[in-house]
Structure 1
Amino acid sequence: MKIATALAGLVLTAASTAAFAEGLPDLAGREVTVVTENAYPPLQFINASGAAVGWEYDAMAEIAKRLNMVVKYENTSWDAMIPAVSSGQYDIGMTGITIRDDRKEQVDFSDAYMRSEMVMLVRGDETRFTDAKSFGANADLLMAAQPGTTPFYVGVYEVLDGNEANPRIKMFETFGAGVEALRTGDVDLVLTDGTAGNGYVAATEGKLKIVGEKLGAEDFGFIFPKGSDLVAPVNAAIADLAADGTLEKLNTKWFLEYKMGQ
C-alpha cells in the first residue's frame, strides 16, 4: 500500500479530535495486555532476528507512552482472537483487524488508524490468471484463506461462486501459513490487504507479486471487550498521532523504507 493510500484512510472522529484538544488522558501506569498474531507484515511479524516488530508495535508503543500505560504482549491465532478479547481475556487486540458491523456485536473498535485496499498476491512466475475473473474461471486454481476473515469472504463472494464450502478454498490457521503454501505451490492465490501484500512482495524480491485490480477497501482498528474504558483514551491517542505527523512517519518507515528479512 502506498503511503498516500494509508494516509487517506485515517479516520478521526469529532470526539477524538476534541479529546486531543483537551489533552490526553493519564492512565497512571496502568498495565494493559495486548494480543496479536505476529503474522501480518508489515503491521506485526517476527523479523530475521526473532524480534516482534512492525507498524502496529510502533504505534502501540507511542500510544502507551502518551497515555502513560504499560503494555504486556501475548500471542494467539486469528480465529481465537476476537472471542478471547470479547470474553475479557485480553484488553486490546491488534492484527490489522477490519472494522465490521458484525464484529461490533462481539467487541468494541477504536477509530480507524489505517485504510487498506485488498489485493491478489500470487507467485512471481504466475501466468495462468491475471485478475479475479480469470482465477475464478479456472477450476484447477486454489486459494488460501483464514476462516472468518475479510479475505475469506471476499474470495467467496467476489472471486469464486458464493459457496463458503467451495473446495477451492484451502483453510489455514495463520496468514503466514497461507503465504508459505502459496510460495511452495500448494495454493495459487492469497487475498490480503495492500499493507501485507506489499510487505511480502518487498520481502521476497520477486518471488511474489500482486496482480489484478484492487477488490475493495477496509479500515483497520484495535479491538476491546465491549464497554472497555480504554476505547476513548486510545482514540484520543490515535488522533494525537495523526495530528503531530507520527502516523505519517510510521507509514514512511514501514511501507517505503523498510525491507523485511534484513
Structure 2
Amino acid sequence: MKKGFIFTVAMLMLCSFIFTGCNSGSKSSTAKRAKVIDIPLTQEEYAFGVDKSQPELLEKVNEFISKIKADGTLEKINDKYFGGGEPKAVESAVEDSSKDQLVVATNAAFEPFEYMVGDKYYGIDMEFAELLAEHLGKELVIKNMDFDAVCLSVGQGKADIAMSGLTVKEDRKEYVTFTDTYYNASQKLIVREDDTTFDNCKTAADVEEILSKFSSNTSAGVQLGTTGQFYVEGDEDWGFEGFNVKCIGYKSGSLAVQDMLNGNIDFVVIDEAPAQSIVRAINELN
C-alpha cells in the first residue's frame, strides 16, 4: 500500500521535472531530496466538522470519539500510519438520497490522514469514517474535493461531516460545528536536503527570526486553505503575524515539495504528519 503512495509521488515528480526542464525558473538547485526541520511552529488541534443543522449527529460523533479513545481503537488506527502497521483500504458507496448514508467531505491529498491509491481511500480519517458509519448503521459515501471546499460543502448541505485533517479555526465555524478534538498537530518547514539555513535553530523563535528577515524574493509553498497558508500570510484569528515572503499555494503538499526540489520555491510549510510522509516517500525514490 505504501508503494502505491510512493508510485503516485513518483509520477507527480516525473511530470514536474519534465515541465521544469522546459522552464527557466529563478531558483536553482540540484537537490532531489528533502528534509523536515523538526521544530514545531504552531500548536493545533484537529477535529471533524459536522453539519450545523444536525446536532444529534454531533452528539453521536463525540460519543464515538470518546469511545474509541477509551478502548484503544484510535491508538491502533494511528499506529498503522505512525508505527509501521498495515493501513486498511476504505471504499465509498455511490451517493443515493434514497439510502441511509453518511456523506463525508474530504481532500484525499493529505497523507497520513486521507489519500488515495487507485480508487481506494486510506488514512486515519478515512478508517475513522468507516468505523463511524458502521457505528451509526449507515452506508459510507466519501466525496473528494479541494481542501478549501470541504467545510463549505458541509455548510451547504452537500455532506454531513468534514473529515480532512481539519484544524479547529474560528472562521470555519461559520460552516460547521466542530466535534471534540482527536489529534494534536503542528506546522513544520520542509527544505531541500542541502539547505543549511535552519540547521542551527533550536526553537520556533529561532526559525521565525530567520523567516522574518526574508524578503518577497523568497518563496514559500503551502497547501491552499491550510494552516500553513495562514501561518505564512498572517491570520488574525490565529495571531499569526505572517512573513514578507511570496506565498505560493498548491493543491497538495506533495506538489509544493516537488516544486521546491525543482528549484522554483525555497521552502514549504505544512502539517507535521504530512510533512514526514511526503519527505519519506520522496527520499525513498532518490
TM-score range, shorter chain: 0.5 to 0.7
Identify the residue that residue 41 of structure 1 maps to in structure 2. Answer: 111
Identify the residue that residue 221 of structure 2 maps to in structure 1. Answer: 144
Asked if the contact 1:34–1:91 (Cα under 8 Å) also holds between the matched residues in 2, the reply is: yes
The residue identity in structure 1 corresponding to 2:271 is D
Identify the residue that residue 65 of structure 1 maps to in structure 2. Answer: 134
User: Which stretch of structure 1 is more off in the superposition, 70-79 or 126-135?
Assistant: 126-135
Between the aligned residues of both structures, percent identity stands at 22
Listed as ranges, the matches of 1:98-117 within 5 Å are 98-117=167-186
The residue identity in structure 2 corresponding to 1:61 is E
The residue identity in structure 2 corresponding to 1:134 is I
Tell me how far apart the structure 2 counterparts of residues 88 and 170 of structure 1 sit (CA, whole Å).
31
The residue identity in structure 1 corresponding to 2:123 is G
Rg comparison, structure with higher value = 2
SS of the residue aligned with 2:127? helix
Q: For each residue in 1:89-135, what CA deviation from the matched residue of structure 2 results, as whole angstroms up to 9, or x when unmatched?
A: 11122211111122112211121111112211222222234433223
Tell me how far apart the structure 2 counterparts of residues 207 and 134 of structure 1 sit (CA, whole Å).
30
The residue identity in structure 2 corresponding to 1:115 is N
Listed as ranges, the matches of 1:84-233 within 5 Å are 84-130=153-199, 131-139=207-215, 140-157=217-234, 162=241, 168-205=246-283
Tell me how far apart the structure 1 counterparts of residues 285 and 66 of structure 2 sit (CA, whole Å).
45
Q: How many pairs align?
A: 189
Query: Residue 203 of structure 1: CA displacement?
Result: 1.6
Normalising by the residue count of structure 2, what TM-score does the alignment of the two structures yield?
Answer: 0.56
Tell me how far apart the structure 1 counterparts of residues 214 and 106 of structure 2 sit (CA, whole Å).
35
Query: Residue 193 of structure 1: CA displacement?
Result: 1.6
Listed as ranges, the matches of 1:70-81 within 5 Å are 70-81=139-150
Q: For each residue in 1:188-217, what CA deviation from the matched residue of structure 2 results, as whole angstroms up to 9, or x when unmatched?
A: 222112111111122223789xxxxxxxxx
Q: For each residue in 1:44-98, what CA deviation from the matched residue of structure 2 results, as whole angstroms up to 9, or x when unmatched?
A: 1123x56321111111112222222211111111122222211111112221111
Q: For each residue in 1:7-56, what CA deviation from the matched residue of structure 2 results, as whole angstroms up to 9, or x when unmatched?
A: xx799x9x748985xxxxxxxx8311112111101111123x56321111
Tell me how far apart the structure 2 counterparts of residues 59 and 172 of structure 1 sit (CA, whole Å).
26
Classify 1:207/1:129 alpha carbon distance in 2 versus 1 (closer, same or farther; 3 Å): farther
Q: Which runs of 5+ in 2 are unaligned?
A: 1-35, 39-44, 48-58, 68-98, 200-206
SS of the residue aligned with 2:177? strand
SS of the residue aligned with 2:196? coil
Tell me how far apart the structure 1 counterparts of residues 222 and 213 of structure 2 sit (CA, whole Å).
19
SS of the residue aligned with 2:186? strand
Tell me how far apart the structure 1 counterparts of residues 182 and 242 of structure 2 sit (CA, whole Å).
32
Asked if the contact 2:222–2:268 (Cα under 8 Å) also holds between the matched residues in 1, the reply is: yes
Classify 1:81/1:172 alpha carbon distance in 2 versus 1 (closer, same or farther; 3 Å): same
Classify 1:194/1:78 alpha carbon distance in 2 versus 1 (closer, same or farther; 3 Å): same
Asked if the contact 1:135–1:141 (Cα under 8 Å) also holds between the matched residues in 2, the reply is: no
Identify the residue that residue 82 of structure 1 maps to in structure 2. Answer: 151
Q: Which runs of 5+ in 1 are unaligned?
A: 3-8, 21-28, 209-262
Classify 1:133/1:206 alpha carbon distance in 2 versus 1 (closer, same or farther; 3 Å): farther
Q: For each residue in 1:176-196, what CA deviation from the matched residue of structure 2 results, as whole angstroms up to 9, or x when unmatched?
A: 432332232221222112111
Asked if the contact 2:110–2:252 (Cα under 8 Å) also holds between the matched residues in 1, the reply is: no
